[in-house]
Chains A and B, each alone.
Chain A
Amino acid sequence: MKQISCRVTDNRTLWSDVQRLAFNAPELAHAIRPGQFALARDASTLDPYLRRTLWLYQVDGDHVAFTLSARDPLAVRARAGDVLDLLAPLGHAIEFDTNARHILLVGESTRTARLIVVAHTAIARGCEVVLVAKPGSAKDDFPIQLLSPAIEYRASDMVDAELIAWADTMVASGSSEFYRALADSIRAVRYRLEPGLAHVLVDVPMPCGTGACCACAVDTARGVRWACVDGPAFDLVEFENRTRR
């Protein structure tokens, strides 16, 4: 993790509550991987107080883009040319099985945005990718133009059994309830939930990025872990058994 001053190159709403914040940050663009994130603040003020979690959205040459809530004060105020203070990259990258060729991505509402970089990275590796998005509401309908045409997109409340059987690797982004339902669907189709099959992005507050503040504790099968250090992507096997209790 490094602390970097980065110049904002673009700030726009992608859809619904999802804002895209882009930076010219060559070092970071080459270091950050899908699954990792950044913590950002405007160093000239303590308002808002905490650093904001930026989810990786896109890497393009020396530029890196993240998403955050469009209502967030940082998203509302940032202008192209502003310099923000970033701690990044934070967390662990999602480790795919190198033999995986069929990637199933499952998103809930606007959290689906966090899967876009995973989708494009998998396509670049020659994988086949299907993205299933559960709409939160009509205005949350996923804007398919954000995806490469090589990615198959489906809008659905449920993940088809056929897709679950097809997938070598799954990555999901949603709520705890969403992950429990996904685990049930996987068990119904594959009879068991295998370690390494499904990764989930845990959405908890991550104020410090070092595990010190204890706000991002996640109860996993391996004990208490910190989303900001050990995650935010966790194996669904580790995560969902504990959240049922």
Chain B
Amino acid sequence: MIELALNWKRNLALNHPILLAAGGCSIDSTSVGAIVTMPLTLRPRAGAAMPRVIEIPGGVLMRTGAANPGLSRILREHRRDWEQSKIPILIAFASQGVNDWAAMATQLDNIAGVSGIELHLNPAMDAIDTIRIVRAATELPILAKLDLDNAREIAADCVEAGANVLVIGRAPRGMRIIDGKPWFGRLYGPAAKPFALQVVADIAALKLDAPIIACGGAHFTDDAREFLAAGAVAVEIDSAEWIEPGMAEKIGAEMIGTRTNADEHR
């Protein structure tokens, strides 16, 4: 087992180092370490204007605007499944106001089957205050998913503020010029991996008192092994699941027997 919430009131134990990332997949999976939900907001969000998806060599730039049905509907539709899940369910919080995050954290605090929350922080947010406020609202383990742009600068403070786990990281941001205007999106695909890998290694070198979960561009077992070698204890699989449903489970099966950094946390 891999214990992520070290010295915390509630355990967050994974039996496997491969996780399904937020937005990675919604198909039932039984042999991954944990499932992270799609990024949710307190209230429904309709999403970004078109275009939302622009392919580039090596991946795709996406801008969904955190489209989602809102926490209440998701709870109504999935709460029973979560209660029966043998795999930890982690609720992803899409970027929004901290008061909404605190309200969501409070609402989720005693939902059976919810094992933790993953905060999708962005550089425009005051990450430290935000984590403190959410920390005060819930005893659930907090996974702080950091933007690659400022992860190195804020990682230590995030742990100090109450994050139990660091997820490195959110998909890198990029830009295209569309009809003469800038268009911003986040990069998914194999091209994202080197960016995430470097930041994982840099933050692992800080030897903070929180495990690191890597996320970004892992498509093959060797990708996952690289992230573990760089210092992560587990790896989230995101867009690879769009391309090949079941990829996380396949990577997981191939990882069996691989000694990981998680061994040090057992």
Contacts and interface: CB of A to CB of B under 8 A. Distances in A.
Interface stretch (B8-16, B52-60, B123-131, B227-235): B52-60
B135 to A, nearest CB: 27
Contact of B64 (A41, A43, A51, A214): A214
A214 B190 contact: no
B239 interface: yes
Given A49-B59, A210-B27, A219 B245 contact: no
A209 B239 CA distance: 12
Nearest to A217: B67
A186 to B, nearest CB: 24
Given A213-B239, A214-B23, A223 B62 contact: no
A3 interface: yes
A49 B46 contact: no
B44 interface: yes
Interface residues of B, number: 38
A124 interface: no
Contacts of A46: 58, 189-190, 219, 243
Interface string B21-65: 001111100000000001100001111001111010111101011
Nearest to A229: B26
B66 interface: yes
B225 to A, nearest CB: 19
Interface residues on A, range: 20 to 34
B243 A214 contact: no
B57 A224 contact: no
A10 to B, nearest CB: 25
A37 to B, nearest CB: 15
A101 to B, nearest CB: 36
Contacts of A242: 46
B147 interface: no
Contacts of B39: 214
Interface of A is mostly: loop
B189 A211 contact: no
A208 B66 CA distance: 16
B60 to A, nearest CB: 5
A215 B62 contact: yes
A87 interface: yes
A50 B39 CA distance: 21
A214 B68 contact: yes
A212 B24 contact: yes
A204 B67 CA distance: 13
A224 B242 contact: no
Nearest to B48: A217
B45 A224 contact: yes
A217 B63 CA distance: 11
10 contacts: A3-B245, A46-B243, A49-B189, A87-B245, A207-B239, A211-B26, A212-B23, A212-B26, A213-B64, A223-B44
The 9 closest A-B pairs by CB, nearest first: A217-B67, A219-B46, A217-B47, A208-B242, A205-B53, A212-B26, A214-B64, A224-B69, A210-B26
